[in-house]
Structure 1
């Protein structure tokens, strides 16, 4: 891999870690002072966008951590291993924050009865948030469904995870980058939904930080796939 792309890898993953640390600090303040303001802390309802995003993104992030550890053990490529490590580190930290907020709000980590994954993204008119592209249409079609273990948009199926476990070297690198690209696209759409709908200020800021960091990693992964003679999946 070129020196320029290696530098870009280091910059992108370093930025992702910096964003995670920034919002970890914000979460500490929010835990002590509610939403960071002088007023009383906001406690969302169990079926709110705030709670739904925290629950669903925690699950979404957990799979990203799993995939990152899988590829770390199946390739010797320094750039892919660095990217995988930083995705795992960043998303594990963010997952802890999201689950911590649910504990702080004394809300369950599972959806209310009858509410499937992504139900929180439906707006007051029964539609979806303003991002109406194919990613949002995919979300609508997946509500309450389990597609071979893929509970939410962008998540890898059980079959795809098994392929990643068995892959080695360049094959593993390409598959990981393709699966993580899909994963990030789903995560970006979810984070945008929270940025629009979440009422807790610090959670909205975290969601906007996720969009920025994961979009940067999407650009990086596209370059890494090109360097390996491959491309994101259609």
Structure 2
């Protein structure tokens, strides 16, 4: 069962809007009044940029894996959209850290500590298998995706990416609530909206595959 034109048009519109918004960030930065201060390394702004960059990198990785494990055009198109969008957003966030002269890795700070969350390893056994933050796939799950093919790979990817998006939305909403007003918080809101739309699309795709 293939997705209809309306479904793809809806998600494509969201993706294009996010990419346009991403491009607009560059120009808006020049017009917006300067920050009253540069974010500190412990700030929500810096924490979100660091942690979401890591979260996004795994989504890009999973999307490239499934692209080579199936010939289904719907899944390959979705994977391309996710990889392209999240790679662009990751580049912007790492660019902000450079602009603020802050480290891209903060070894002494637990992931998502800026949201008031504790060390994930103490609460979730998945962390011991490489899942650094909520929603992220474990090393075992990534190995399963690399070994799968066809419908099995499609279903596994859609399930893993659905959970990945749920974790991403939770973190992005944290930035909407805690980051300073401006382009970064606007980008976080775009992530919440865009990934929610993709979760609905993936639910339809899983249903079409009897999963």
Please say whether Structure 1 and Structure 2 have the same fold, judged by a TM-score greater than 0.5. Answer: yes
Query: Distance in 1 between the 2:102 and 2:110 partners?
Result: 16
Residue of structure 2 in register with 1:165 after alignment: 146
2:127 pairs, out of 146, 168, 185, with 146
Higher normalized helix content (fraction of residues) = 2
TM-superposed CA distance for 1:20, in Å, is 2.3
> What TM-score does the superposition give when structure 2 sets the normalisation length?
0.92
Does structure 1 conserve the Cα–Cα contact (< 8 Å) formed by 2:2 and 2:74? no
Q: Which secondary structure state, in structure 1, belongs to the residue aligned with residue 129 of structure 2?
A: coil
User: Are the counterparts in 2 of residues 149 and 157 from structure 1 also a CA contact under 8 Å?
Assistant: yes
Matching of residue 108 in structure 1 with residue 103 in structure 2: yes
**Alpha-carbon contact 2:3-2:74 (below 8 Å) kept:** no
Aligned residues: 209
* SS of residue matched to 1:146: helix
Partner of 2:145, secondary structure, is: helix
Per the alignment, residue 58 of structure 1 pairs with 53
Gaps of 5+ in 1: 123-127, 129-135
Where in structure 2 are there 5+ consecutive unaligned residues? none
The CA deviation at 1:43 is 1.1
TM-score, structure 1 as length reference: 0.83
- Alpha-carbon distance between aligned partners in 2 of 1:42 and 1:26, rounded to the nearest angstrom: 19
Q: 1:210 aligns with which of 191, 196, 202?
A: 191
Deviation digits for residues 79-112 of structure 1 (CA, Å, limit 9, x no counterpart): 100000000000000000000000000100012x
Q: Distance in 2 between matches of 1:175 and 1:51?
A: 32
